[in-house]
């Protein structure tokens, strides 16, 4: 028994120490499980919002994976020195503060928060001048492979095909369109040499007139418990090509984020995405 404990202690000493923001939420609980399932990582901190009834609880018990002796706290600053990498899938305002704290304490980040405004994008850019950050709207392998395919399709069709992006998520999601929909639309726009801000059309209503060539339609569906469905249609004269990804388990995103955490800890200061992690940008 003593030999087993010693071996476990040595493993924990060598493991990457990961902190999870929003530890009591659905994604937070899955991130905790994914961290503990990965042989390279261990949970060292779990953070919830101030006033949460989960503050003081054991993070492992909250995640239903057994006691971990990691107490949930409501202040990142209290545990920042215990963290090598912080995984943050929270809300833009909270993530903005967390980026500043991590940058000031040389802690790398994996960010899955979506819906940043321009000011928050600037905070991200400044933070990535001090620490390594992986920032992605989606951490699944399949979605990032889809982005590669979208780049190929957009270059092949050019503006000869009309492009529509359709995404569907559960009724609890509070931002629209999804970060993944933006990523997909941006992949198409970039491949066609466009600025997405100049060509994006969000939904249609009333007398819209004829569709303007070169635009990219983006549409959001909300309902039920859909984890995440995304389809990009390339509609040309005489043929339609659809590239679709459907998520069937949130653990896909959590495991991908933990994979990103094991990667970002080895990188130089800068901002990266999941395609960098997967080697798809090589």
Sheet holding 41-47, edge to edge: 72-73, 41-47, 16-21, 85-88, 108-111, 132-135, 270-272
The 3-class secondary structure across the chain, one letter per residue, is: CHHHHHHHHHHHHHCEEEEEECCCCHHHHHHHHHHHHCCCEEEEEEECCCCCCCCCCEHHHHCCCCCCCCEEECCHHHHHHHCCEEEECCCHHHHHHHHHHHHHHCCEEEECCCCCCHHHHHHHHHHCCCCEEEECCCCCHHHHHHHHHHHHHHHHHHHHCEEEEEEEECCCCCCCCCHHHHHHHHHHHHHCCCCHHHHEEECCCCCCCCCCCCCEEEEEEECCCCCEEEEEEEEECCEEEEEEEEECCCHHHHHHHHHHHHHHCCCCCEEECHHHHHCCCC
Q: Between 9 and 210, whose confidence is greater?
A: 210
Q: Quick check: 8 pLDDT over 70?
A: no
Average pLDDT over residues 167-194: 95
Average pLDDT over residues 24-46: 96
pLDDT digits (tens, 9 = 90+) for 93-146: 999 999 999 999 999 999 999 889 999 999 999 999 999 999 998 899 999 999
- Distance (Å) of CA 51 to CA 73, 76, 86, 184: 10, 14, 21, 37
Task: Tell the residue number behind the tokens 């984020």, with chain if given.
Answer: 257
Q: Between 1 and 271, whose confidence is greater?
A: 271
pLDDT digits (tens, 9 = 90+) for 225-266: 999 999 999 999 999 999 999 999 889 999 999 999 999 999
CB-based burial, 148-157: b 16+ in 10 Å, e otherwise: eebbebbeeb
pLDDT digits (tens, 9 = 90+) for 261-271: 999 999 999 99
Residue ranges, comma separated, of all CATH 3.40.50.720 domains in the chain are 2-135+251-278
Q: What is the mean pLDDT of the chain?
A: 93
Q: Name the fold adopted by 141-247.
A: Dihydrodipicolinate Reductase; domain 2 (3.30.360)
12: pLDDT confidence band, cut at 50, 70 and 90? low
Residue ranges, comma separated, of all CATH 3.30.360.10 domains in the chain are 141-247
pLDDT, residue 204, reads 93
13: pLDDT confidence band, cut at 50, 70 and 90? low
Which residues belong to the active site? 169, 173
pLDDT, residue 250, reads 85
For domain 2-135+251-278, give its CATH number from 3.65.10.10, 3.40.50.720, 3.30.700.30, 3.30.420.40. 3.40.50.720
CA atoms within 13 A on the CB side of 132: 18
35: pLDDT confidence band, cut at 50, 70 and 90? very high
pLDDT digits (tens, 9 = 90+) for 42-80: 999 999 999 999 999 999 999 999 999 999 999 999 999
pTM, entire model:
0.80
């Amino acid at each position: 028994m003593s030999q087993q404990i010693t071996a476990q202690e040595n493993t924990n000493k060598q493991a990457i120490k990961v902190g999870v923001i929003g530890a009591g939420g659905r994604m937070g609980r899955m991130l905790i499980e994914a961290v503990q399932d990965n042989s390279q990582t261990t949970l060292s901190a779990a953070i919830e919002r101030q006033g949460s009834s989960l503050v003081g609880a054991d993070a492992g018990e909250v995640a239903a994976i057994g006691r971990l002796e990691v107490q949930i706290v409501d202040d990142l600053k209290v545990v920042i020195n215990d963290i090598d990498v912080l995984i943050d899938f929270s809300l833009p305002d909270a993530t903005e503060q967390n980026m500043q704290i991590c940058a000031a304490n040389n802690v790398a980040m994996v960010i899955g928060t979506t819906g940043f405004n321009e000011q928050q994008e600037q905070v991200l850019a400044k933070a990535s001048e001090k620490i390594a950050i992986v920032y992605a709207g989606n951490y699944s392998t399949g979605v990032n492979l889809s982005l590669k395919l979208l780049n190929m399709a957009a270059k092949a069709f050019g503006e000869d095909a009309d492009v529509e992006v359709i995404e569907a998520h559960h009724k609890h999601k509070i931002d629209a369109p999804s970060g993944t929909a933006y990523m997909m639309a941006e992949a198409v726009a970039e491949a066609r040499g466009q600025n997405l801000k100049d060509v994006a059309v969000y939904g249609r209503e009333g007398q819209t007139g004829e569709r303007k060539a070169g635009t990219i339609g983006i549409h959001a569906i909300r309902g039920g418990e859909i984890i995440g469905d995304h389809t990009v249609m390339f509609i040309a004269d005489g043929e339609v090509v659809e590239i679709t990804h459907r998520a069937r388990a949130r653990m896909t995103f959590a495991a991908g984020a933990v994979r990103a955490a094991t990667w970002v800890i080895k990188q130089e200061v800068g901002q990266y995405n999941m395609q960098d992690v997967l080697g798809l940008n090589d």
